[in-house]
Structure 1
Amino acid sequence: MALTLRGKYPLKYLLRALSLAKSVFYYQAKVSQLRDGYECEKRLVQSIYREHKGRYGYRRIHLELRNRGIMLNHKTVQKLMMQLGLKSTVRPKKYRSYRDQAGEAAPNVLERGFEASKPDEKWVTDVTEFKVKGQKVYLSPVIDLFTREVVAYQLGQHADLRLVTGMLEEAISKLNLKSKPIIHSDQGWQYRHRAYQKQLNDNGLTQSMSRKGNCLDNAVAENFFALLKTEMYHNQHFEDADDLMEQIKKYIEYYNTKRIKVKLKGLTPIEYRNQALKAA
């Protein structure tokens, strides 16, 4: 009623007659304006939102309105968008919840001791990236330093925590109860994450990390990636990410079971492992 009569009578007399506080009057006026007004502005907000295919949030729409001569407070624009059910398609903040839980780096226990006396004594791991037709593929393997065998691996299109913890879970499942290898990596956030480090501690594995920015401390993993990419990735054609991942799986199977190594006396990694286990 006060809003209706305001044009006829001074505000102070209306407030006194209605026993209404000035702050309450202005609050109701603002709510009423948001509820019943801004019809033209709402249509313009919707038009800008659709023109940019949902990519604009209230801040950019506020600026675009200002560029068109519509002076609205940015909070008002935000409320109008909420009323209209409009929300921008924001870029995801990748892995922040994971990265926030990254702890301290482990010492370099391996110290470039790339030779091992038996299987499952020393492991190395890392993550590498592939690209195919605008898509990305990530590979996370565990390599045994005695046989150079890929003990376990995970493939995915996201370099997230599960890529590493899934790989470690598979590798640990293949260990006998007496084997407690050192597992060496770089200082990537995944390897400093509490969940990954808990997996290691719960299974009695010793964590080792390269010095910061020193790829030579993890040279065996780097050499494996270089070999893989030379022999099955570079100058090859792949239909899409799924095709590439399938070819990586086939190559790792070939590498472990058919590709002989001079360093292993002409045996494949699996043959060399089996020979060592028989002799033990």
Structure 2
Amino acid sequence: MLELRPHFPLGDLLRAAELARSSFYYQLKALGTGDRHCDLKAKIREIFDRHKGRYGYRRVTAELRQQGLVVNHKTVQKLMVEMQLKSLVRPKRYKAYDGAASEKAPDRLERDFTADEPNQKWVTDVTEFKVNNQKLYLSPVMDLYNREIVSYEIAERPLPIMIKNMLTKAFKRLDSGEKPILHSDQGWQGGFNRSTQHRVTRRILGSRSAPPWESSSPTF
């Protein structure tokens, strides 16, 4: 693009390359300082600008991985801090109603949030946030092996169908015989308690490799 600048308007070049003006100038500045993360920073800023500041480091990392880049979420977080890129969306932890007191699903992880292989331990949660004054609920499933987002569902109301859709998409990615522990500290959306949640998971998806349900998950 630098070679073409003397011959074409910068705006036309940026549109052809689908590159934000801020990303171009940042990359230009980084090239002058010998920044080894120059290309990665430019991609991070392009994603951040394209989503109008709504993406934090986790979602930026997920999109980078979708583009085929192998990058650690901690590296993305550090670079975004350096570039002063902070998500405009402030997530709010959603607390579901637990219902009447009853037997809770066992905590088989025992606070060990590490995994030795993919699809061994999953965690899930529900986060409430606002976009343009519209309240939304995000429910993802994350693999503790590599922090990959296995599936997610976004809805305007935290109803059981949101969880059903999220889990259905997640379980479709499992191979035969894979039965990850699914871990959460949230009650089932819509007023079901955790022990009910444990049983509903199997009813929703049938007996096919439905993983055990756990209680109390870490914050993503």
TM-score (norm 2): 0.47
The structure with the largest alpha-carbon Rg is 1
RCO comparison, higher one (Cα < 8 Å, 6+): 2
TM-score (norm 1): 0.38
